[in-house]
């Protein structure tokens, strides 16, 4: 079941971090860089980020989450995270499908580490088109994707 997450609730925000940190640790291992900003997030940072969070729950346990910002008929996905214990269960797909069903949206944007092959394949499989690539530093290159609905 997917439902809105009340990120203002400290305990719920801690649950999100308990999914986010291990999820981004997997990405860090894949890309070979542990300086990914989401690994340094805190409860306060998440509560101040201005994103809307939706969680995928199984038996009242948070298994994955997506955070977005909506502006001018565009959704910008800021995080799509799944607890590594729940990888390969279709949770990321369910969360993305949920976002794509939002009314009045024409475009969805997202970025991921260029070396994060599973994420890049996931977005390409879902008809996202690469629109840019930005070198952040020697270790981090970001690929930006868009999907017109």
Tokens standing for residue 61? 């346990």
Indicate the helix (H) or strand (E) that contains 25.
helix 10-31
- The count of structural domains within the chain is 1
Structural tokens at position 62: 């948070």
Query: DSSP letters of 33-58?
Result: ----GGGG--HHHHHHS--EEEEEEE
CATH code where residue 103 lies: 3.40.630.30
User: For residue 66, what pLDDT is reported?
Assistant: 98
In this prediction, residue 29 carries a pLDDT of: 95
Question: Structural domain of residue 99, as residue ranges?
Answer: 2-148
**pLDDT per residue as tens, the chain (149 positions):** 999 999 999 999 999 999 999 999 999 999 999 989 999 999 999 999 999 999 999 999 999 999 999 999 999 999 999 999 999 999 999 999 999 998 889 999 999 999 999 999 999 999 999 999 999 888 889 999 999 99
Q: What is the pLDDT of residue 137?
A: 85
Q: What is the pLDDT of residue 138?
A: 82
pTM of the predicted structure, to 2 decimals = 0.94
- Give the C-alpha separation, 123 to 145, whole Å: 8
């Amino acid at each position: 079941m997917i439902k809105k997450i009340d990120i203002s609730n400290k305990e719920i925000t801690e649950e999100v971090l308990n999914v986010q940190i291990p999820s981004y640790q997997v990405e860090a291992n894949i890309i070979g860089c542990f300086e990914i900003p989401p690994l340094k997030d805190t409860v306060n940072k998440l509560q101040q980020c201005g994103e809307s969070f939706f969680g995928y729950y199984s038996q009242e346990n948070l298994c994955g989450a997506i955070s977005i910002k909506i502006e001018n008929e565009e959704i910008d996905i800021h995080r799509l995270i799944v607890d590594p214990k729940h990888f390969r269960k279709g949770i990321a797909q369910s969360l993305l499908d949920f976002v794509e069903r939002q009314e009045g949206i024409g475009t969805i944007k997202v970025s991921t580490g260029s070396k994060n092959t599973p994420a890049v394949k996931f977005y390409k499989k879902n008809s996202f088109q690469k629109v840019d690539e930005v070198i952040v530093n020697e270790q981090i290159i970001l690929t930006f994707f868009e999907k017109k609905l």
